[in-house]
Amino acid sequence: MPQALTREVGLLRAIAGQLEQRPLPFEQVTQEFLRKEGLGHVREKAGNIISLGISAHQAFGDLTDCLRDRYPAMERGSTYADVQTELFSFIEAYVGREPSTIATSDAEALLTRFEHWFAQRASSRRVFVPCLITRTAAPRFEIGPVTFEFINRIRTSDFWPSLKGEASLDRHGFEDLLKWMHEGDAYWLARVSVDGCEQRRAEEIAELAVDLAIVALQLSAPALGTSTMARLDARRGTSQKRTLSEAGGYHNAGWTRKEPGLTIGRGTLEDILLKSAQLIAAVGNLVQSFASGSFRLPTLERAWCDAAYWLHQARAESIDTIAIAKLETALEVLFCSESARGSEQRILGIFHAFFGLAPDAPINPGSLISARQFARRIVRDRSRILHGTWSTLNARGLDRAGIEGFVISVVRMAAVELDAYAHSPDPSDDIDEFLHWMKKRRGALA
């Protein structure tokens, strides 16, 4: 048997040994039913169910991973759930098959099946994503592969389906989308081009690319109501908050507007984009790497995108303790920390490389807190929150504003520096080399 397919053959045999067809049960197929019957996967088919025993559950997952490893394009361009659904369709034919008869030809048939399956589904798509950025109209703008258009201009823009070769259903879908945007107070529509993906995965990549593009605005103007900028269907809360309380027989009612970008008036968004052009371009390049799956520096660029997403989630978080845990996680993933001690050392490395601060130097002129103390405090707070030493709902002494400001500064600077590093001669895709390069660059610019 060729060594290259030995693993696939072994996994197919393990799966076939636990695969059977059963009559459709009278009771509903629930998780409790699966546990009771010792089943991992089931599928209804022609009045019966095809079931896979729980002991073969790991083999089913391993075979899914094998397929994704063999076809990197499929790993990027399809969802894990879709691959598993198609895999289960393939293995249904093995019901009643003697496992020992499964050979290399079966593994080859499996690979051929998935090669054709993905080729039929992968294509270039333009995905449209409603967003909450600001109510104020502004010209179209782009951040990498993401184009943003204000709602009043959509029908006259190239977003809108033309009549040539278009079915009326295309415009009907757009009309439904605009109606949903009006109902949700979403005034911007983003368009993202995604290549080489099936539909669900293209939509997923596009939505995440929009999140990362919105981070560019949050980094450019953190104080101008950007914290709740998001996709319409993302975690954002309501556009207003109303409160009502009673004390001593008297009721006190409160009302607060919470729409994103409230302080962004006419001309302000254009000004933000102009003044932050270097940052917008740098983030746009990183978003392009993510959306295309073609990274200049895979480890470093993926780390930045992961960190930016954690920051995006932290800014929308209403509970300080959870926000701080997310903010420190953003630093951890950005600089590939692997332990509490590693996190502290990375943060100290950030102070040195980004700001030229030694461990015992004050973090700001006149501050009584040193870089080392600040680093320890960040790591300590996250550890106490996540391990239950501090109550998530009743913690004290947290400096969310200070930590948030620090993380915003780091993620913002990292985007610009990483973009410059990617264009430098022979860059190494390594965090330590990147930080070393930054130190040398700071020294040369000083």
* pLDDT value for 1: 42
Q: Which residues of the chain have pLDDT under 50?
A: 1-2
The separation between CA 302 and the C-alpha centre of its own chain, rounded to angstroms, equals 10
* pLDDT value for 339: 57
* pLDDT value for 126: 94
**Tokens representing 230?**
């998001």
Return the domain boundaries, the chain. 3-121, 123-264, 295-446
* pLDDT value for 201: 95
* pLDDT value for 286: 98
* pLDDT value for 136: 93
Cα–Cα dist 76/326, whole Å = 26
* pLDDT value for 390: 85
Dihedral angle computed from the Cα positions of residues 416, 354, 268 and 142, in that order, rounded to the nearest 10 degrees = 20
| Rg for the chain, CA atoms, rounded | 26
Say what percent of the chain tops pLDDT 90: 58
**Which positions ≥6 away from 207 have C-beta within 8 Å?**
127, 129, 231, 234
* pLDDT value for 445: 63
**For 418, phi and psi rounded to 5 degrees?**
-65, -35
* pLDDT value for 309: 97
What are the tens digits of pLDDT across the range 3-12?
578 999 999 9
Contacts within 8 Å (CB) and 24+ apart, 342-345: 343/375, 343/378, 343/379, 344/375, 344/376, 344/379
